[in-house]
Amino acid sequence: MINPNKNIMTQEELIKIIANELTQSEKNILEMFLEDDTGRRSLIAKKNYLATGTIKTHICNIYKKTGITNLVKICLAYHVYKTTTERVPS
């Protein structure tokens, strides 16, 4: 369920949206931003053999789904999501 007042969304709510509503491609884009220290779409696109427009489209979709236009906040929540869902080898 999406919070109608997304401006005061908790990190837990954002993580649920990341887990349940973002596509794998959108999660991959967030991963690329986490791995790249420049945060520049053009460099991320070039390094990953994607068009800059593809990056922009995915980011716009992420903004629409989360209702948040702060990519840093979304990436931080994605990082928490990723580290809590990774399996530790036995």
Would you list the domain boundaries of the chain?
25-84
**Virtual torsion, Cα 55, 4, 24, 77, nearest 10 deg:** 80
What is residue 1's predicted lDDT score, i.e. its pLDDT? 46
For domain 25-84, the question of CATH label 1.10.10 is answered with: yes
Lookup result for tokens 């908790």: 10
| Long-range contacts from 51-59, C-beta under 8 angstroms, 24+ separation | 55/29, 58/25, 58/26, 58/29, 59/29
pTM of the model: 0.81
Which pLDDT score, from 0 to 100, does residue 7 have?
58
Q: Quote the pLDDT of residue 51.
A: 95
- Position 38 scores a pLDDT of 80
pLDDT in tens, the chain (90 residues): 454 555 578 888 999 999 999 999 999 999 999 888 787 889 999 989 999 999 999 999 999 999 989 999 999 999 999 998 875 555
